[in-house]
Every structure is written in structure tokens, then in C-alpha cells.
Structure 1
Amino acid sequence: MSHAIHHHLGISTNEVPFSRPTTPGAHPPQIGFVGLGAMGYVMSRNIANYRANHPGGFVPLLVWNRSVSKAEKLQKELGEDKIRIAQDLGQIATECDIIITNLASDDVVKNVYQQFQEALLKNKPTKNKIFVETSTVYPTLAGELDALISSVPHCHLITSPVFGPPAAADKAQLIIVLSGDYRSKKEVAYLLVPAVGRKVYDLGGNLEKACTFKLIGNSMIMGMLEVMAESFTMAEKSGVGAETAYNLIKDMMPAPPLVNYGNRMLHDHFDGSEGFAIDGGIKDATHVRRLTNEHNSPMPLIDIVHQHMLTARALQENNKREGVQQFDTLDWSAMIAGARVAAGMDGFNSQTHPRVQKLD
């Protein structure tokens, strides 16, 4: 049946590198989701909608978020038949069979898993539980989380960071990376594809590998954005025009991240509430720089990315003090502000730059 569903949705079973899980038992699994930020909100929504129409049965998704208003918004959008709101993290840990977390920082992730452990040691499970950590964290944190979770009987952790912006999550087009226990990965892969993602990379049993690969992938994206930011700035300064440079991207390198973030740079659309917040980008760049030190593998472009995102955030903080900021939170495409300022231009407002005169 799972094969038929994937085929109907246009997803090759080769995109999920595991055989189909065994037929589920009499009761469908209770799934919990923690963290309803820009990514978590749409991921949890897609899981709830997909499971509600899945022939294996469905119970409402149990969700928790630090600010309950987001959980209430999700419940209002989908209905109480698809979403239940947990009172605390202990309820998520004890009631759910599969717990998915998507959180903003390493410190928050660790704190949440400490609360999971505390609740489960008081009420030890009698059947298997799978914890699925989808945040972007430093690889060594995976071992700390595993120590917390594996101290509880029948509990397994897998790391499962995802590639793609909220817009890709909204369309269930994320790329999912998995590391950890094989049987757990098998269950989770068929839960997440095609509900939230289109393909799974299996990186084996070492929990750190998926986290490492996520940082490597993000370094590729950050590097491409930096090159694009510098090229757009040079195009403006030289009189060619950033729009001409952007058109070349669309014609020769039309990768979705380049087209999306290039459009943001071109039109100064730096609203982080609709994209990837720059604080997250700075955190990821910091992790990558730490990784380069640990493995003696220099990535000098990421050093520049880090500097330019810090520059953008500093400009934003100054604008806030003066009450002239345009956005509450910057998207990481605002790193172009660093290249612009270095070239003597306005960081956030391209309308102040000399305009290219188009010939008839």
C-alpha cells in the first residue's frame, strides 16, 4: 500500500532508501511535534494532513510550542480532529510513540531533551519510542542527546536535519537526512516521505553524520549566496546592473535557492519572518567555522559569510535604535548588506544606488 501511495504522488520508492516497514499494529502511532517555528509549523501541518488521509489510521498530532499561540493557530487551521495541544513536554514524551523536534538553537534542543528524559525516567515506557531531531545543531550535541535518550528503556534517537526553506516545507519538498538506528530510520522515512519531504539520504548509524552533512550543505548555500551578493554589488557599481546579473542566474543556474534568494537581494526583500532568519544563519556559519577548525579543513568563504551577516545584523540593530528598521527580523539573504557597505553603498536600500540607464 505504501508503494502505491508513493507512486500515486509521483515519488519514486528509490527516494526512500529502506524497504517498507512491517504492517502497523491495531493502533496507529501517536506522533508528537515540538517547535512550531517557520519550519516546524508547516512540517507539522503537512504530517497531520497526510496522516489523516493515510490508510493506516490516524490519531490527532500532539504538538507543543513555547508560545502556545502558535499551537492554537495550528489547531484552529486544521481542527481538533487533527491537532491536540500538549500541556507540557512531559506529556509529549510519555504519550507519543514518535516525537519530532524542530528548534532554533543547540541550547534549546538540549534543554528540551533533558525535560524528555526527566519525564520518562519518572514514567518509564513499556514499548519503543523514536525521537527525531530535525534541527540544525553541532554534531557533538547528537551524542549528548543520545546519552539522555538511551538512558531510558525502549527509547531511540535518530538525527534527521532537513534541507529546504519554509516554502519548500510548505510544498512537502524537503530533502531529509537520517542517521541512527536502522529500524527507527525505516519507520521515520516512511512517515516523512511524502508527507514533508521528497527524498531521504541515509548516512548510516553514526548520529553525528547527518548533523555534519547538514552543516556542509548549508555551507554550500551560504557560499553561493555570498558569491551572488558580491556579484550583484559589482554589477551595480560597474553600471551593468544587479537585475542583469540576476537574469544570468535564472538563465544559466536556475537552482531554486539561487533564484529565490537572488530575488530577495535584488528587491531588498529581507523579511526574516518569511525566510530563514539571519540569527540562524550566523549560528550555522559559527558551527561550520568550528567544524573547519576541528577537521583542519579551511573554508575561507564561510569566514566572509559570517562577517557579512554580522555586518547586516549590526546595521539592523542600529536601525532599530533609530526606529527606522523595515523588518523585525532579517532574512539571511541580507548578507548582501555587508558587500554593499564595503563598496560604499547603502546596505538595505538598493533604490539609493545609481540606476543603470537602459539604452533603446
Structure 2
Amino acid sequence: MARPKDAHLLHLQQTEPNPFSRPATPGHHAVQIGFCGLGAMGYPMARNMAKWRKEHVQGGLPVVVWNRTKVKGDALAKELGQDIISVAASLEEVVSECDIIFTNLSNDEVVLSVYQTFVKTLEDGKQAKGRIFVETSTIYPTVAAKLDVLLSSIPSTTFVSSPVFGPPATAEVAQLLIVMSGDYRSKKEVAHIMYPSVGRKVIDLGGNIEKASTFKLIGNSMILGSLELIAESFALGEKAGIGAPMTYSLMKELIPAPLFTAYGDKMLHDKFDGTKGFAIDGGIKDSQHIRRLTTELNSPMPSLDAAHQHLLTARALHQAQIQRGDAHFDVLDWSSLIAGARVASGLDAFDSSKHGKVVPEKEE
């Protein structure tokens, strides 16, 4: 029976965490999975996927991993064992050996470069077996379309756009929110690999390959807009003589959402270490993508404009600290955008201990 034209819209309100039925059992050979990109998100995703498959997939093969700096792959193989992780020396090796290849990379340019290498290798090798490529990074929607066109030149090859929501800490505990668009049969197979090994829920956006990347940018606009709201509220609380701690307490009463409380805690206690969160360069890249999307669709987001400027302010101030030799962090977390709101209010950018302290009044 054909699926209703807008059936994918029903998945947004799904009760089940995975909207896809289980795919058919693989045929004559076990599926070989590859994972390219072992950064702050890719490393825990690849690790959790490999561990889950070892424990739940009978006869499962080691996951083949690749990273630009091989030391990351070696570290993962040492952590899990060579019976679970196989380290590839090159992208060519991954694409030649694997049936399903996941990528999680830093930016659009790197993504395009990696996929061009995939296609060139497959064209040179003339290998006939089918492959599914799955891109999990945050990329601009038209880049997803370019990848789809690029891969369409290779017979029996399909592409799934599948960005994920969640910071590295969420990836560590396999609780990412997974979004998908692209070929239906491929999505079904990929969904049962990613859930529950790396994520808690899969959302299907249908066949238009650009929809998942667009949805990811919409979601990130919510997160970035929330960061800007928290930053401005905290700065106002400081200037009003009420203090950021009391403002944070009020926020938890009014908006007790995990996102608000987690990022509010980072801003309140100056926890701006980007190696333990989402690095500011990634935040600026995402905000650029969101602002480009709003421009192309004539859908203004003033809060995102402010957040973008505050991200740039925070990065500029941090770079000045590095040049002076007094930076506290090698990399900033994107929650450090509060530096922009603080400086605009006449407060210290990164050290809240320098702000005037509120002394509670004592009863007579």
C-alpha cells in the first residue's frame, strides 16, 4: 500500500521513538559500518554505535573509523578493543570496505571535500555493491542537496541527511534526537542502526533531502535564541542589583526546562570551557547558516541577529586574552555569548566574580 502523501508529518507527533518498521534481515553478508569524523560529537557517537552492535548484533563486524588525525581512531580502538573498532588509514579505505558510512564533520567545506573523495574512489573502483551514506553534521540545506546529486552518479548508492540534536554530553549517554530525510528504505535501515545506539528518538521529515538540515537549523535557532534570552536577563539582573543567582532561581521556577537550567548554570558560574560543550566557532557557523536561511525565506529573526553579534564579541574578547596570555580557556563554549550582553551593560565579560555582589538586607 502506498504511503499517504503527508505521512511523514504524522511522525512529528509519533508516540514511538522510531517511526520505521524493522528492515529485512541482511542477506549473505553482515553489514559493514564506517564512521568518519571523531570530534566532540563523532567520537561518542561512533563509540556508542560500535558498543551497541557488539552487544546486540549477532556476527556484527567491527566499525571502521576514520579521522583526519589518526590518533583519535587509535584512542577509540584502544578504549573498546580491535574486535569492536577497526581504524582506517584513509577515506578511500572506508568507502571501499563499508556498506553504510556515517559522517560527522566540522563544516560544509570539509563535508563536501570528504564526499568528493568518496565519489572519486567509487568511480575509480567501479565497485557494484550498494552503499548508504549518512551525514549527521549541521550543514546548510543546499549542501545536503549537493551531496545527494554528487552521490546519484554512483549506481546503487543512496544518501540520508540525518543531523542530530544535543551537545557532546548528550552524545556520551546516547540520548541524541535524530532527524532524517531522504530515501525511505535507506532511512529505515539507518534508523535501526542509530536508535537506540546513539539516540533516544528518530524524527522522519520525508523524502526531500533538504528538510532535515532545515529542521536542524530551526531547532538550533531555538537553542541560540534561548541562550540570548538567558544572557540578557542575567545581565539585567546584575545591573538591577538583584543578581544573576536570583534571576537564575526565578528562571528555574518560570521555565524549568533542561536546556535553560543547563545553559543558565554555565553562564551563572562562568563555565565557558568549549572542550566540554559546544565550541563557539561551531555556534558562529550555525548562526551564520540560520541567518542565511531567514534572509532567503524573508523570515526575520532579530534575536538571532543579536545572538550572532554577541558570539562574535565573545570570540574577539577571547582572542585578545589569548594574545595577552591570560585566557582561562583554550576554546570557548557558545554559552560565552553572555560576554556580549555583559560588556554592553558595563560588566566584566568572562569573570562574574568582578561584578558587584548583592548583599541581602537584614531584618531589624
The answer, yes or no, to whether TM exceeds 0.5 is yes
- 2:61 aligns to what? 59
- What SS does the aligned partner of 2:23 have? coil
- 1:26 CA displacement: 4.0
1:215 and 2:220 matched:
no
Q: Match of 1:171?
A: 173
Q: Please tell me the residue identity of whatever aligns with 1:25.
A: G
Of the three residues 333, 336, 343, the one matched with 2:335 is: 333
Give the Cα separation in 2 of the matches to 1:116 and 1:227.
42
1:29 aligned onto 2:18 = no
Q: Deviations over 1:266-289 (max 9, x none)?
A: 000100000000000001000111
Task: Select the residue among 304, 314, 317 that pairs with 2:316.
Answer: 314
- Is the CA contact 2:23–2:189 (under 8 Å) kept in the aligned structure 1? yes
Q: CA deviation at 1:247?
A: 1.8
SS of 1:199's equivalent in the other structure is strand
> What's 1:141 paired with?
143
Partner Cα distance (1:283, 1:101) in 2: 18
2:200 aligned with 1:191? no
**Cross-structure match for 1:350:** 352
Matches for 1:235-246 after TM superposition, within 5 Å:
235-246=237-248
Query: What is the CA distance between 1:13 and its match in structure 2?
Result: 7.8
CA distance in 2, matches of 1:358, 1:57: 65
Q: Deviations over 1:120-145 (max 9, x none)?
A: 11113322210000010110001111
Which one-letter code corresponds to 1:252 in the other structure?
Answer: L
Moved more, 151-160 or 55-64: 55-64
Q: Distance in 1 between matches of 2:154 and 2:57?
A: 32
Q: SS of the residue aligned with 1:301?
A: helix
Structure 1, unmatched stretches of 5+, are 1-11
1:84-163 equivalences in 2 (<5 Å) = 84-163=86-165
**1:231, 1:266 → 2: CA distance?**
11
How far apart in 1 are the matches of 2:72 and 2:284?
25
Alignment-mate amino acid for residue 329 of structure 2:
F
The TM-score normalised by the length of structure 1 is 0.95
* Other structure's SS at 1:137 match: coil
Task: Tell me how far 1:58 sits from its aligned partner.
Answer: 1.1
CA distance in 2, matches of 1:253, 1:191: 34
Give the TM-score, by structure 2 length.
0.94
Q: What is the alpha-carbon distance in structure 2 between the residues aligned to residue 145 and residue 298 of structure 1?
A: 28
Q: Output one character per residue of 1:332-356: Cα deviation in whole Å (capped at 9) or x when no partner.
A: 0000000000000110000000011
The Cα of 1:54 is off from its aligned counterpart by 1.1
| Alpha-carbon offset, residue 177 of structure 1 | 0.4
> 1:249 is matched with which residue?
251
Paired with 2:53 and 2:125, the residues of 1 have a C-alpha distance of 27
Structure 2, unmatched stretches of 5+, are: 1-13
Moved more, 38-47 or 147-156: 147-156
Amino acid at match of 2:188: K
The one-letter amino acid of 2:159's match is L
> Which residue identity is paired with 2:295?
N
Cα distance in 2 for residues equivalent to 1:55 and 1:157: 23
Matched position secondary structure for 1:15: coil
Instruction: Find the aligned partners of 1:346 and 1:265 in 2 and give their Cα distance.
Output: 13
Aligned equivalents of 1:54, 1:135: Cα separation in 2 = 26
Query: What secondary structure does 2:228 align onto?
Result: helix
Structure 2 counterpart of 1:41: 43
Matched residues in 2 for 1:61 and 1:89: separation?
A: 14
Q: State the SS of the aligned residue for 2:56.
A: coil
Q: Is the alpha carbon distance of 1:332 and 1:95 closer, same or farther for their aligned partners in structure 2, counting shifts above 3 Å?
A: same
1:22 CA drift (Å): 0.9
Identity of aligned residues (%): 59
Question: How far apart, CA to CA, are the structure 1 residues paired with 2:176 and 2:56?
Answer: 20
> What residue in structure 2 maps to residue 8 of structure 1?
none
Pairing of 1:283-322 with structure 2 (within 5 A): 283-322=285-324
8 Å CA contact 1:42, 1:169 repeated in 2: yes
> Which among 261, 271, 280 is matched to residue 269 of structure 1?
271
Q: Which amino acid aligns with 2:157?
A: C
CA distance in 1, matches of 2:121, 2:129: 15
Distance across 1 between alignment mates of 2:24 and 2:15: 16
Task: Work out which of the residue numbers 55, 71, 80 in structure 2 matches 1:69.
Answer: 71
